[in-house]
Amino acid sequence: MSTRCTFAHVDLLALQSNFRAIREFVGAGRQPGETPPGLIAVVKANAYGHGAPAVALALQDAGATILACADIEEGVVLRRAGITAEILVFGALGVSDVDGVFEYRLTPTVSTPGAGRSLQAAAVRHGVKLGCHLKIDTGMNRLGLRFDNLEYTLPELVASRSLEITAVYTHFATADDADCPLFQTQRERFQHVLARLPQLGVNPRLRHAANSAATLRDSRVWYDLVRPGLMLFGVIPPPLASTIPLQPVMSLRSRVVAVKGVRVGESVGYLARWTVPKPGRIAVVPAGYADGLDRRMAGSC
């Protein structure tokens, strides 16, 4: 059986090194005597295309105790791959699929009143008290209970005997844009929510807000947990910079299948975007659309 010579190579040792480097970074950023934040290793979207089962197992071996995915289906894939760590589901929950939360021991997010009702009813059917994370919308205007409407949306959740809010979190819309004031606005709103929650009957053990960009930008939003995603795979969200010794996890590899001479003035490739400036030779590598190469990259070298 032949093997295609163009392939994506995923370095799981580099992945584990990145996990440890991020953990060390946030640990060193705390004052002496302060408890360093833990890590939620984000492996949504098939671990950003790196292969969720293998990536999740490698992160678990490196010490990850909480992994996060986008939906129940992704959580099921992780459990079936052998993941025993806690799995947090970020996304919205449909009324028809919440039973998977119980069957596969997933931690759901309550981001709408409807999701809370569905989980509560399912918890009653299963005869358990379900731990969940509460998401607060502080300005992303995507999922989450509105920060300024909690007096109306929280009482029903608080009254439930079948749900336990173990953590509360938010998500920043502009953590990677230092010129946009929304980041600080969201931070202040979340701080205000955290101060109000006990008055509303919510006393979560954990708080989290920082994705990769926010982790790099502001240690005030590290709270109890940070949520690296891109950084785990060696990517610093542009235009941010970092001294964390991260390594690229994925590389595209192939081999040269032909070498040919080209003359001055000839063009190479689709749309003839590159013209030969002096006589030379070009190498042909068998990689294209099927390998994820966008034709718009032509002429960029």
Catalytic machinery residues: 44, 270
Helices and strands, number each (H, E), in the chain: 9, 15
In whole angstroms, what is the distance from residue 256 CA to residue 260 CA?
11
In whole angstroms, what is the distance from residue 228 CA to residue 96 CA?
30
Distances (CA, A) of 66 to 18, 93, 209: 16, 19, 15
Residues in contact with 67: Cβ distance below 8 Å, sequence separation at least 6, in sequence order: 40, 41, 42, 43, 56, 59, 60, 78, 83, 85, 86, 87, 88
Pick the closest to residue 135 from 126, 127, 145, 124 (CA basis).
145
In whole angstroms, what is the distance from residue 54 CA to residue 298 CA?
32
- CB-CB contact of 119 with 130 (8 Å): yes
Q: Burial code of 124-156, b = ≥16 C-beta within 10 A, e = fewer?
A: eeeeeebebbbbbbbbbeebbbebeebeebbee
> What dihedral angle (degrees, nearest 10) is formed by the CA atoms of 184, 186, 187, 193?
150
Residues in contact with 178: Cβ distance below 8 Å, sequence separation at least 6, in sequence order: 217
